[in-house]
Structure 1
């Protein structure tokens, strides 16, 4: 009985004890449990990935909506700005037209006032010239007699 024989017997005894204690079943069960745990983790990872893709799709949809809303806001602001510019231009033109009309009215009034002033001065000059001419040519005694005579005529007509 040599060492090889005892080593073989020890090997068979070890294999027998291992099978008696159901070690291969425990190893298989342990591997099956680990495989199940890995499968569950893969399923959970797949679910998390799907949820992440749904969340990503939702955020992309929201981003697109926000971009469209921003474009709409910019478009509306540009349209409103164009309307404001047009309105300001129209109001400016109306203001200029009113100011021009007012200036024209003031110029016309100034012209009328100047013409009237010239007429008044011309009339004053003509009256003064006539007074001087009459004063030089008319006798004061004759003028006084004419005045008294005219006064008598008026008194008789009034009575």
Structure 2
């Protein structure tokens, strides 16, 4: 143990930074050589405890996990593309249905407008016919009224003329004839 302490004290004094890289390379006084030996010893310990194999297994496991995630991502991407294509088809179908509905609505509107136009023409024709009938009735009524009035005026004028031109004897004779006529028609 004493030897180890002396050696470590000696190596500590010899391993000062001023003497670090001086002297022969394969000497314990050369720090580069000591670092190299320490590193090689470290690598030997790692190999002895099979650390590279463990690291390789860990890396392989991680690579397999990443590969699985990539496969899952590809599957999800394909599924998403399938869904996208399905939605695009549905959108196309809906667009076509909407266009068909609009076309049908336009056609129905045109048909309704044509039917309304025909009904309007028929209504106008009926109203014209009614107006013409009313005008004809009013005209006939006016003609009848004029005729009646003319007849009444003519009768009144004839009565006045007859009353002025007939004598009292003619009046008595006409009254007697009228009474006889009425009596004959009643029996």
TM-score w.r.t. length of structure 2: 0.74
- 1:110 maps to 138
Give the distance between the partners of 1:126 and 1:36, measured in 2 at CA. 131
> Which of 47, 52, 55 is the matching residue for 1:27?
55
Q: CA deviation at 1:155?
A: 5.8
3-state DSSP of counterpart to 1:2: coil
Relative to 1, partners in 2 of residues 1:147 and 1:51: Cα closer, same or farther, differing over 3 Å?
A: same
> Which of 29, 45, 54 is the matching residue for 1:17?
45
Residues 17-66 of structure 1: per-residue CA shift (max 9 Å, x gap): 22221111111101101110110111111111111111111111111111
Relative to 1, partners in 2 of residues 1:151 and 1:71: Cα closer, same or farther, differing over 3 Å?
A: closer
Relative to 1, partners in 2 of residues 1:146 and 1:44: Cα closer, same or farther, differing over 3 Å?
A: closer
> Which of 102, 117, 121 is the matching residue for 2:149?
121
Moved over 6 A (4+): 156-159
Aligned length: 159
Greater helix percent: which structure? 1
Q: CA deviation at 1:122?
A: 1.3
Query: Which protein is bigger by CA-based radius of gyration?
Result: 2
Relative to 1, partners in 2 of residues 1:158 and 1:131: Cα closer, same or farther, differing over 3 Å?
A: closer
